[in-house]
């Protein structure tokens, strides 16, 4: 990734508690300005809103197909105006070696927008210059999630 990724200002570099519609709105704005190649990791427990966010980013990026969770296939590919989009859900990945079977190196070489749920499973095979996003449940508010989106790590 040769360019600085643009992080829409709502999130800035801080943390906020967003409801689902605020999260979707941020995702759509992020998708509208995203320039490939770009890897976005989305961390968070089951039900945190990772797929909800991926769907919004894809909408903003111009994906017109329905975006569904790649729980069994682990990776789905979509067409969009600026590049292909790969959506990975690595929940079922046992170890990062298995990424080879998903053509991970080819995906990274494809100059695409790559959106990864459960990035922890990929270990050190996530490129260093990705955009890390995280979503966390709040104990006292079932409708909001603690949201963080960073720049280069």
Ligand X SMILES: Nc1ncnc2c1ncn2[C@@H]1O[C@H](COP(=O)(O)OP(=O)(O)O)[C@@H](O)[C@H]1O
How far is Cα 37 from Cα 16, in angstroms, rounded to an integer?
A: 27
Max intra-chain CA distance, the chain = 42
Binding pattern for the stretch 30-69 against ligand X, x by CB under 6 A and - elsewhere: --------------x-xxxxxxx-----------------
Query: Is residue 145 a contact residue for Mg ion (CB under 5 A)?
Result: no
How far is Cα 113 from Cα 17, in angstroms, rounded to an integer?
A: 26
Q: Which does 94 bind (CB under 5 to 8 A by kind): Mg ion, ligand X, none?
A: none
The site for ligand X, by CB under 6 A, has a size of 16
Query: Is residue 51 a contact residue for Mg ion (CB under 5 A)?
Result: yes
Query: Is residue 50 a contact residue for Mg ion (CB under 5 A)?
Result: yes
* Candidates 27-35, 42-50, 100-108, 122-130; binding stretch for Mg ion (CB under 5 A): 42-50
Q: What is the 3-state secondary structure (H, E, C) of 113-137?
A: EEEEECHHHHHHHCCCCCEEEEEEE
* Residue keyed to tokens 């999630």: 145
Q: How far is the CB of 124 from ligand X (least distance, A)?
A: 23
Which residues in this chain contact ligand X in the complex, by CB under 6 A? Answer: 18-20, 23, 44, 46-52, 117, 143-145
């Amino acid at each position: 990734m040769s360019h600085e990724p643009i992080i829409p200002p709502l999130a800035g570099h801080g943390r906020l508690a967003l409801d689902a519609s605020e999260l979707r709105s941020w995702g759509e704005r992020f998708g509208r300005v995203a320039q490939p190649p770009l890897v976005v990791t989305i961390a968070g427990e089951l039900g945190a809103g990772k797929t909800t966010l991926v769907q919004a980013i894809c909408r903003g990026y111009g994906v017109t197909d329905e975006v569904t969770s790649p729980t069994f296939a682990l990776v789905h590919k979509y067409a969009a105006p600026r590049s292909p989009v790969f959506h990975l859900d690595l929940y079922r990945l046992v170890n990062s070696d298995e990424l080879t079977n998903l053509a991970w190196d080819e995906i990274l070489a494809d100059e695409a927008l790559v959106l990864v749920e459960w990035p922890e499973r990929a270990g050190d095979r996530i490129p260093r210059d990705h955009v890390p996003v995280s979503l966390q449940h709040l104990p006292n508010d079932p409708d909001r999630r603690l949201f963080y989106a960073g720049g280069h790590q």
